[in-house]
């Protein structure tokens, strides 16, 4: 299978507006790949067209893609060849690795045609947004394999990886999908939550009664135990067992032989309040704990226990099983209520304890692994700041030709502005068109590569989840999950929020 065929299909899928058209084009390509009989290539192609690499991260970002060699005149690259090259690039390490990696990237792009270069650049930069999301890909796999879509989705839930399911379905059919079962040691996609505007909204959407749980400001983990063997996975299904010995020890202390559970790992201060999220996150980035802060673990759901799958049971039944297994001190705080005042009080107490907010869960909902189900709703306050746009970057992928990623600055009372991060989240097509025209007018001096420096005149309202410490920016802080709400033409830069306001949020742990 030539890379050119995948690149052409990707372009067609991106240009198709109808879900059915995207599904059919994906199915045609998947069948074409499967005709070669190589399950690995099916998985790779499904992964790429979902905008991901099977290798996850290979150390290639925008910096390595700023300047590319001229494209090749004929298509010679195969899917297998490119996949192998990605693996070689990702394996480069040690002294001189940046230069060596850059050389391998250049060699790859030298042998790629113009269309292939566009596809590879978007894939490697995370900008391959063509509408082939999990739902569309699941339907395409089902159509290509001639299998009911519900069976594909169920297998994907249990496998934790849709590309793996694609390979099984197209090379082994329904019998191969039947082999996917819930099994300790094989992570599954975590159930995700939708957003509610408040506890009243959550109660109404969940039918009047809800299970409210504290949303801890830690890191979600999925814990598997098979006898004395414990495995711990992140929400992205990375194995971090060796980095979290406290979680392993707490799991082995439970009176069970086999289990799969959802939990939160978090670093706590001596007074029980959470450390800054970065303190917890540091443990996930370090192969060995060393002298880093110890973690506590709090369980909040149970998917499997001693040979019995609990996925399809109502939330209340799974929690009954959890309560019988895990001591109260190791469980996330919980309240079952239909009273909005009681729910609000629970939210207020959770926020006062330094945590993010609450989760509202339907008592009757099953565990929808790998899906953003309507049975779970997250409720947490959203912070906003009025900041100034200091610079903007030229976009890529569907944003090619527009000024997209904006650099955000808070006003310094002593003069000037302090950068707090970048974002392109929340931008509509109309907003991109407007800001491209607006920022072209504000451009100041020569362009630094793909970064356009601006006169600090445009105020933008930014929503964010919190403030974290950062060595990347001069103020030592960065906004978490920043996204654009609207541009504030009614405000001047002198009315923007100050860095002191941001620092106060940071010191409060906000």
As a whole number of Å, the CA-based R_g of the chain is 24
What's the distance, CA 469 to chain centroid?
Answer: 20
For the chain, list the domains and their CATH numbers: 3-179 (1.10.3260.10), 194-379 (3.30.470.30), 383-508 (2.40.50.140)
CA distance 209 to 388: 43
Structure token pair of residue 170: 């197209």
Given 3-state DSSP classes, what are the helix, strand and coil percentages for the chain, each rounded to the nearest 5?
A: 40, 25, 35
Active site residue ranges: 215
CA distance 185 to 443: 53
One digit per residue, pLDDT tens: the chain, 510 residues? 899 999 999 888 888 878 898 899 999 999 999 998 899 999 999 999 888 889 878 888 766 777 888 999 999 999 999 999 999 998 888 888 888 888 899 999 999 999 999 999 888 877 665 545 677 888 999 999 999 988 898 888 888 788 999 999 999 999 999 888 888 988 888 888 888 889 999 999 999 999 999 999 889 999 999 999 999 999 888 899 999 999 999 999 999 999 999 999 999 999 989 987 878 888 887 777 777 889 999 999 999 999 999 999 999 999 999 999 999 999 999 999 999 999 999 999 999 898 889 999 999 999 987 677 789 999 987 788 899 999 999 887 677 888 889 999 999 988 889 999 999 998 888 889 899 999 998 888 666 667 889 999 999 999 888 888 888 888 889 998 899 988 987 788 888 889 988 888 887 665
CA distance 453 to 214: 42
CA distance 264 to 301: 10
Per DSSP (E only), the strands in 97-160 are none
Going by C-beta distance under 8 Å and a sequence separation of 6 or more, which residues neighbour residue 231? 184, 185, 187, 223, 224, 225, 239, 241
Report the b/e string of 86-101 with b at 16+ CB within 10 A. beebbebeeeeeeeeb
Structure token pair of residue 89: 């690039």
- Binding residue ranges for ATP: 213, 220, 235, 264, 300, 372, 378
- Binding residue ranges: 213, 220, 235, 264, 300, 372, 378
Q: Are 464 and 385 in contact (CB under 8 A)?
A: yes
Question: H-type helices in 369-488, by residue range?
Answer: 429-442
């Amino acid at each position: 299978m030539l890379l050119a065929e995948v690149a052409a299909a990707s372009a067609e899928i991106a240009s198709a507006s109808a879900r059915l058209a995207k599904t059919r084009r994906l199915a045609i390509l998947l069948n074409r790949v499967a005709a070669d009989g190589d399950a690995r290539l099916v998985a790779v192609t499904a992964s790429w067209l979902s905008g991901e690499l099977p290798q996850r991260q290979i150390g290639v970002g925008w910096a390595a893609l700023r300047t590319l060699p001229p494209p090749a005149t004929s298509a010679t690259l195969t899917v297998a060849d490119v996949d192998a090259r990605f693996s070689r690039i990702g394996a480069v390490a040690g002294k001189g690795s940046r230069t060596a990696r850059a050389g391998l990237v250049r060699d790859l792009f030298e042998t790629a045609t113009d269309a292939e270069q566009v596809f590879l650049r978007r894939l490697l930069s995370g900008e391959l947004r063509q509408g082939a999301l999990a739902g569309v890909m699941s339907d395409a796999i089902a159509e290509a394999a001639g299998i009911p879509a519900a069976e594909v989705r169920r297998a994907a839930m249990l496998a934790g990886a849709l590309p793996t399911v694609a390979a099984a379905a197209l090379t082994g059919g329904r019998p191969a999908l039947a082999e996917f079962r819930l099994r300790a040691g094989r992570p599954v996609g975590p159930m995700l939550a939708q957003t509610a505007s408040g506890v009243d909204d959550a109660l109404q959407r969940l039918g009047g009664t809800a299970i409210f749980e504290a949303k801890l400001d830690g890191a979600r983990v999925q814990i598997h135990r098979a006898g004395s063997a414990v495995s711990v996975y992140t929400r992205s299904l990375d194995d971090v067992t060796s980095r979290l010995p406290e979680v392993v020890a707490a799991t082995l202390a439970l009176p069970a032989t086999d289990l799969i559970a959802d939990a939160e790992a978090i670093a706590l201060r001596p007074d029980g309040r959470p450390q800054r999220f970065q303190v917890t996150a540091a443990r996930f980035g370090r192969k060995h704990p060393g002298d880093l802060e110890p973690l506590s673990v709090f369980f909040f759901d149970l998917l499997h226990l001693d040979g019995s799958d609990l996925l399809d049971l109502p939330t209340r039944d799974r929690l009954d099983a959890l309560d019988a297994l895990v001591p109260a001190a190791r469980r996330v705080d919980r309240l079952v209520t239909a009273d909005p005042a009681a729910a609000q009080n629970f939210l207020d107490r959770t926020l006062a304890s330094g945590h993010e907010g609450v989760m509202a869960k339907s008592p009757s909902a099953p565990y929808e692994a790998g899906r953003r189900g309507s049975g779970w709703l997250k409720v947490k306050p959203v912070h906003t700041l009025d900041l100034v746009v200091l610079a903007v970057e030229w976009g890529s992928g569907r944003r090619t030709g527009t000024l997209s990623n904006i650099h955000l600055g808070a006003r310094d009372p002593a003069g000037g502005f302090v950068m707090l991060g970048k974002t392109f989240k929340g931008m509509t097509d109309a907003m991109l068109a407007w800001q491209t025209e607006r920022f072209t007018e504000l451009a100041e001096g020569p362009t630094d590569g793909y970064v356009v420096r601006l006169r600090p005149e445009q105020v933008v309202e930014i929503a964010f989840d919190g403030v974290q410490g950062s060595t990347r920016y001069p103020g030592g802080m960065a906004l978490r999950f920043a996204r654009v709400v609207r541009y504030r033409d009614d405000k001047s830069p002198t009315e923007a929020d100050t860095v002191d306001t941001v620092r106060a949020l940071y010191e409060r742990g906000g």
